[in-house]
Amino acid sequence: MRKKIYSAVLGLILLASCQNSLDLYPLAEPSAEKWYSNETEIQLALNDLYRIDWWQWDEDGTNNSFLSDDGFYRQALSEIKAGTVTSQSSFSTTLWRNSYKAIARANRAISALNSSETKSKVSQAKLDVYLAEARLHRAAQYSKLVNKFGDVVYSDNVISIEDAYSKGRTNKKEVTAKIYEDFDFAIKFLPTSYAASALKRASKGVAMALKARHALYEKDYKIAADAAKACMDLNQYTLHSDYANLFLQSTKNSKEIIFSIPRSLELKVTLGPTSDKITRNSGGFAAANPTWDLFCAYLCTDGNTIDKSPLYDPRNPFKNRDPRCTATIVEFGQPHLGFIYDPNPYALQVTRISSNTKVTNNDNRANAQFASFNGLVWKKGIDDSWLLNGRLIEPEHVIIRYADVLLMYAEAKIELNEIDKSVLDAINSVRARAYKVALTDATYPSIKGNNQVELRKQLRMERRMELASEGLRYMDIVRWKLAEKVLTRPIYGMLDPIDLRTKVIDKNLWFFAGTPKIDEDGIPDFSDMEKTGLIRNLVPTTWNNRQYLWPIPTQEIQINKNMKQNEGY
């Protein structure tokens, strides 16, 4: 299986090396050499559509890429969280450029596959599969553009440079109809699965899952529910038995992963160096951290929020929490990357596990002022292997997995107010897996009832717990219109060590002295705690409602008189 992945990655590398400079302009026809003379060349050309550049997450937690309220980078803010997005912001211009590069390649492939020359050499049955693959990629790229920019420039043909410089934007409803056409073609002709010896390529389930995601984001709930259910009914995917293990770089080809892009240390397609998420005792920076907002979103094991549960103890805040809490965020006093992790300001020394000796605790801000400002560090997907190979790692770059499909199905049905056993089973399957028990087991806090408002709240909290640090939270708070609420609040952290020692009388409440209220959206309110002076406002965030749509890049406006800017930019 690893050889299959290497072959796929190698194909991407070869294509990347020969096509990086082919696009004169994102909307222009790429001046490629003549491909598609045989099936090998067709597959190599299609391989380029799997390049990670075309499939980046909205936020990956590196440097200052946090767009949502789940993470932050010390006291720095992304432009989204600072409310300063402009038409020259690199994250939006990069998405625009890369998506149109991928679309240009897909359109080029589709044009060639429909040519008489190619049809004379390849059977129609195989051509349909290749066309389905190209159309799926095109649909996925247009989906991302519509989600972020609204109306976008649309073309399903190879266009001239002149047209690229004059083509205006198409209403997003028209583009969405085209997106559904492409996904439906892919669903019809892509295989349900591939032979064990085949390269890892998009299948029917990928098209169904990505169609469901687009429909959910566009509030086409009937389409979303039907597409997600169709994916579920394929019986090709199952939830991985161990939530924490699923995200490790050693886990390959899990049946939960519907679509991912492989990485390979051997072929130098990697993630990293990864110092921002590695603790300081282990030689990293611990600069990219989960927020207190995310930490407080994890329910207690009785299914209640921390402000409602008698099981929550602020002196031992990880105790009695949903298991995904400690799978995502490192628990205090537990082994992590060779040391016991303990940001307690009184813990000036900590145990090195390999020698069982005490060493200076550099994960403590009393010893290292740039240790985690709120005491939290990421655990999800991180193990000792991150310290090897110069901190270059090779986890699969997951685009969509089965748990997301289950939750999308449940959300769409809830929004339609078509709540039945299948909806509760979908959510509870995800939750039961976190507790490592069967769906019908009575020992986990299953979700019950059919009240739409209550289930909507439960579903949204479930998505946050399940999908944290997977690049999906930003679009959730945008489509739920929560960005204007959660990104206008401060990012909080602990007091400086000297203040902690003098102001916090109970030494066991060093983390944060109290319990925040959790509102109807599952969002913690730290304002009362801030008034006590026992926590610190690290940096305020500022959201601007114009950012619900991103700006069209400046150069597109400058060179195309028919390109109109989004409102507010």
What pLDDT was estimated at residue 7?
Answer: 43
What pLDDT was estimated at residue 13?
Answer: 38
User: pLDDT (tens digit, 9 = 90+) per residue, 439-485?
Assistant: 999 999 999 999 999 999 999 999 999 999 999 999 999 999 999 99
Q: Record the tokens describing residue 300, joined without a space.
A: 């207690």
What pLDDT was estimated at residue 14?
Answer: 38
Kindly give the interhelix angle for 124-149 and 90-113, rounded to the nearest 10 degrees: 160
Q: What span, in angstroms and rounded, lies between the C-alpha atoms of 544 and 58?
A: 18
Q: Record the tokens describing residue 379, joined without a space.
A: 């655990």
Cα Rg of the chain, angstroms: 24
Specify whether the CB–CB gap between 39 and 126 falls below 8 A.
yes
Q: Give the DSSP H or E segment for 341.
A: strand 339-341
User: pLDDT (tens digit, 9 = 90+) per residue, 219-255?
Assistant: 999 999 999 999 999 999 999 999 999 999 999 999 9
Q: What span, in angstroms and rounded, lies between the C-alpha atoms of 305 and 327?
A: 18
What pLDDT was estimated at residue 60?
Answer: 81
User: pLDDT (tens digit, 9 = 90+) per residue, 525-561?
Assistant: 999 999 999 999 999 999 999 999 999 999 999 999 9
What pLDDT was estimated at residue 441?
Answer: 98
User: What are the phi and psi torsion angles at 518 (to 5°)?
Assistant: -105, 125
Higher pLDDT, 239 or 121: 239
Q: Which residue has the tokens 């039961």?
A: 432
> If pLDDT is split at 50, 70 and 90, which confidence band does 32 have?
very low
Q: Record the tokens describing residue 436, joined without a space.
A: 């490592």
What pLDDT was estimated at residue 38?
Answer: 80
Q: Is the pLDDT of residue 298 over 90?
A: yes
What are the residues whose beta carbons fall under 8 Å from the beta carbon of 559, sequence distance 6 or more? 165
Q: Which amino acid is at 52?
A: I
- 8-state DSSP, 194: -
The percent helix, strand, coil of the chain (3-state, each to 5) is: 45, 10, 45
Q: Is the peptide bond before 273 cis (omega within 30 degrees of 0)?
A: yes
Specify whether the CB–CB gap between 131 and 45 falls below 8 A.
no
Q: Record the tokens describing residue 5, joined without a space.
A: 């992945």
CATH assignment of 1-190?
Answer: 1.25.40.390
Q: What span, in angstroms and rounded, lies between the C-alpha atoms of 38 and 123?
A: 11
Q: Is the pLDDT of residue 24 over 80?
A: no
What pLDDT was estimated at residue 162?
Answer: 84
Buried b (16+ CB within 10 A) or exposed e, 355-366: eeeeeebbbbbb
User: pLDDT (tens digit, 9 = 90+) per residue, 322-353?
Assistant: 999 999 999 999 999 999 999 999 999 999 99
Q: What span, in angstroms and rounded, lies between the C-alpha atoms of 552 and 152?
A: 9
pTM: 0.94
> If pLDDT is split at 50, 70 and 90, which confidence band does 18 have?
very low
User: pLDDT (tens digit, 9 = 90+) per residue, 167-217?
Assistant: 999 999 999 999 999 999 999 999 999 987 566 799 999 999 999 999 999
> If pLDDT is split at 50, 70 and 90, which confidence band does 505 have?
confident
Phi/psi class of residue 10: alpha, beta or left (left: φ > 0; alpha: ψ in -120 to 50)? alpha
3-class DSSP assignment, residue 72: strand
Q: Is the pLDDT of residue 23 over 60?
A: no
Q: What span, in angstroms and rounded, lies between the C-alpha atoms of 394 and 265?
A: 6
> If pLDDT is split at 50, 70 and 90, which confidence band does 274 have?
confident
Burial (CB count within 10 angstroms: exposed 0-12, middle 13-18, buried 19+), residue 158: middle
Q: What is the mean pLDDT of the chain?
A: 92
Q: Give the DSSP H or E segment for 397.
A: strand 397-401
Q: What span, in angstroms and rounded, lies between the C-alpha atoms of 189 and 110?
A: 14
What pLDDT was estimated at residue 275?
Answer: 94
Q: Is the pLDDT of residue 360 over 50?
A: yes
- CA contacts within 13 A on the Cβ side of 201: 27
For the residues 101-122, what does the mean pLDDT come to? Answer: 93
Q: Where are the domains of the chain?
A: 1-190
What pLDDT was estimated at residue 158?
Answer: 92
> If pLDDT is split at 50, 70 and 90, which confidence band does 492 have?
very high
